[in-house]
Amino acid sequence: MPLVVCVIPARMGSTRLPGKPLELIAGVPLIVWVYRNAVASEAFDVVCVATDDRRIAQAVEAEGGRAEMTSAAHLCGTDRVFEAASRLAGTHIVNIQGDEPRIPRDLLRSFTEELVSLDDNSLLTIVSHATIEDTSDPNTVKAVLGNENQALYFSRAPIPYVREGTAICYKHCGIYGYTAESLRRFCGFSQGILEQVERLEQLRALENGMKIRCQIHDFESIGIDTPGDLERFRQWAARNGYGC
């Protein structure tokens, strides 16, 4: 039987918003919002936070959650997920970014249902339709899809470039799914040039011939990358209270 493990990578050293996992929203640390949402979805057999900072681990454990301490030397969140997942014996692993507190729970369940059909050379992720504002925002990652919703490329630039006519533009949501083997393969590759220049770890998979399957879901999500994102989420929490 599949054993689906959700790992949430979190570190204090964000360049755009240092210390964001412990930023308080309605009195609750951001990382706890993400953790509680994943648990409440009932989509996973195990949920844990992977971090290199004891303060983050303590915030999760104070909520009765599970945290795994990982190396401070990891170059990206997926490498951190791999270290934690290797201790948890999951057959399938879901990586939810530690700054995505509002992924709908029914979407997480749908994601996990498709994940168990994934092969060992593929990843699964989520995109939604981008607005005009999204396309020009470098903090919003854009995606170009091919047949059967397979990703061709991801970029911070507005892609595809529309010279004439119209095109559908998608934005990427911070969630990935792997088999245990596809995660091991991904983390066995070195960072490529595209990953380094775009600062997008999913490009490592594409550069090395792995496939990325995309589910298309339109939903309101706040990926918290900047102080402005944090303030918008605080305003949402003030209106709606704790929980998503």
Amino acid at 181: E
Top-confidence residue, 225 or 138: 138
Which residues have C-beta within 8 Å of that of residue 109, sequence separation ≥ 6?
A: 41, 42, 43
pLDDT tens digits, 89-141 = 899 999 999 999 989 999 999 999 999 999 999 999 999 999 989 999 998 99
Instruction: State both tokens at 9.
Output: 């990578």
213: containing domain: 4-240
Predicted confidence band of residue 215 (pLDDT cuts 50, 70, 90): very high
Interstrand relation of 151-155 and 142-145 (parallel, antiparallel or unpaired) = antiparallel
Q: What is the pLDDT of residues 72-90, one digit of tens each?
A: 989 888 999 999 999 998 9
CATH number of the domain bearing residue 169:
3.90.550.10
Q: Can you say whether residue 199 is alpha, beta or left, with left for phi > 0 and alpha for psi between -120 and 50 degrees?
A: left
Give the DSSP H/E element, type plus range, for residue 33: helix 30-41
Rounded to two decimals, what is the model's pTM? 0.91
Predicted confidence band of residue 242 (pLDDT cuts 50, 70, 90): low
Res. 244 pLDDT band, cuts 50 70 90: very low
Question: If you average pLDDT over residues 1-7, what whole number do you get?
Answer: 93
Q: What is the count of structural domains for the chain? A: 1
